[in-house]
Structure 1
Amino acid sequence: MSQVWLITGAARGLGRAIVEAALQAGDRVLATARDTSQLTTLLADHSEQLATFALDVTDELQAQQAVAEALRRFGRLDVLVNNAGYGQIQPFEHVSSDDFRAQIETNLFGVVNLTRAAIAPMRAQGYGRIFQVSSAGGRISSPGLAAYQAAKWAVGGFSDVVGKELVGFGIQVCTLEPGGIRTDWGQQARTTLQDLPPDYQESLGAFKALIDSYVGNEKGDPARIARLLVHLSRSSEQLPARLLLGSDAWQYVQAEEQARSAEAQHWQPLTLAADFGAAEPTEA
């Protein structure tokens, strides 16, 4: 059965790849972006399956209008992909309040706005799949990505909660946590890191070198990820609350979670000492 998708950040990168994969599968798509002109050629080739909508995901009213447009054009909404987002790599001390807030507004509240708008029609039809394109950075911490990763951690927590709330309505929420994807994300993100302050060389220097060497050589294949997403959208299985994508995502997240677990074990006596009646912690 043909599905109806609404995809944010659809003009380029992973969003564009998801649009193309959904169309190839015979589905219908409302592709949204701030600038939809980049979708003109694709629209001409798929005029029956594809519609576009200019959307700023930080605008809650526009988010509601985008969902309404999908319903108007195609009669239903089966799959929402919250893909729009961006990052800037820079020491937190040097990120202005406006820039920090802008990243949170796009990467977190964009997800909140579209998810809120999609729930009612999905509940009415008794079915829906919501995919939040987060990042492996939603489970790890990388110096220089305070705003971006704060938002992605919040997206994961928000989506875990909402997924549990919606479980009885036929709506599944899955947070995708890819590693590096070979799009222009890394190139754009590191433009703010070219002149690393000397006093941050110790904490960010190695990460900057990693990013500089990694951009253009990311392991994640956007077309392959897009096809995996189409497969997931059709799966009869219960979707995972979170899904890592890519060998690098697996490697980095496993290492960080093992380190976090070891730290928790080390500090367990102090943790347990917080209870009423607990023994006082002893000196190390």
Structure 2
Amino acid sequence: MSSKVFIITGASRGLGLAVAQYLAQASHRVFLVARTEKDLQAFKAQHGSSVEYLAVDLADWKVAPRIIESALQAFGRVDGVVVNHGVLAPITRISESNVEEWRKAYDINVLSALALVKEAIPELRKSNGRVVFISTGAAFGAYSGWGSYGTSKASLTHLSAHLALEEPAITSVAISPGKVDTDMQKQIREGGKEAMTPDLHAHFVDEHKSGRLLDPKKPGNVIARLVEGATKDVNGKHFRWNAPELANFQDV
């Protein structure tokens, strides 16, 4: 497969970093976006001219045009986007919530993704490109304290379906990566006890203690292969990372 150009958000650590590692090792060119510049610099130092980055806060919608312009300046085209950035906070029950905190969560989880994808559409039309949105099981089931996260990710997942409907040249898919061993899981364990039900919080703690959290590379490799080569049969749909329908994209 010839070298392509992919934009990955939330790429400095965890799942986004795993996706970036796979694509860079597959000889693609990657444009990384995250807030932590030193981590992006370290990745570029490892991979040289095949990697460029922009250290910005995606909650500021004005950065979306800069991201696309910078990627084009670096590599001349865009073949795919992985929308991986997002926040879990606030973990709080609706009765105790702060509407401003919910607005901030939606700014990051939904509207910043919309801004970026909108700017990428002209280039993705040219390349018959792909967009992979990182969803979650919480977009389909209610969990105490997770209202802002679950509802915003549900909106993001539906955005993927609308993109698929409106842009026939672009393939779009939403993926739930499961319980991945990332900072978000640490946030659940350390900050979720008060708002979550005791059983649910204990379940997440036990998943970590028992070593059952996923290595980011497992779902990360699937996501990387999807942005690299997702076919139209997955267009507009949502899948768990290990769904039977994605067998061709999973590790053997």
Runs of 4+ residues deviating >6 angstroms: none
Give the alignment partner of residue 226 of structure 1, picking from 202, 212, 220. 220
**Higher Rg of the two aligned structures:** 1
Alignment of 1:93-104 (within 5 A): 93-104=95-106
1:23 aligns with 2:24: yes
Structure 2: segments with no counterpart, 5+ residues: 244-252
Query: Residue 228 of structure 1: CA displacement?
Result: 1.6
> In the aligned structure 1, how far is the partner of 2:107 from the partner of 2:29?
28
2:4 corresponds to: 3
> In the aligned structure 1, how far is the partner of 2:54 from the partner of 2:230?
30
Q: TM-score, normalised by structure 1?
A: 0.78
- Do the aligned partners of residues 192 and 230 (structure 1) sit closer, same or farther apart at CA in structure 2, a change above 3 Å counting? closer
> How many residues of Structure 1 are paired with residues of Structure 2 in the alignment?
238
Alignment of 1:1-284 (within 5 A): 1-88=2-89, 89-123=91-125, 125-167=126-168, 170-194=169-193, 196=194, 204-215=197-208, 217-235=211-229, 237-240=231-234, 241-246=237-242
- Do the aligned partners of residues 193 and 237 (structure 1) sit closer, same or farther apart at CA in structure 2, a change above 3 Å counting? closer
Structure 1: segments with no counterpart, 5+ residues: 248-284
- Structure 1, residues 87-124: CA drift from partner, whole Å, max 9, x if none? 0332222222222221111111121111111101222x
Q: Is the 8 A contact 2:65 2:119 kept in 1?
A: yes
How many percent identity over aligned positions?
A: 25
> In the aligned structure 1, how far is the partner of 2:189 from the partner of 2:102?
15
> In the aligned structure 2, how far is the partner of 1:159 from the partner of 1:113?
13
Q: Is the 8 A contact 2:110 2:152 kept in 1?
A: yes
Q: Is the 8 A contact 2:78 2:127 kept in 1?
A: no
Q: Is the 8 A contact 1:232 1:239 kept in 2?
A: no
Query: Residue 13 of structure 1: CA displacement?
Result: 0.7
Q: Is the 8 A contact 1:220 1:246 kept in 2?
A: no
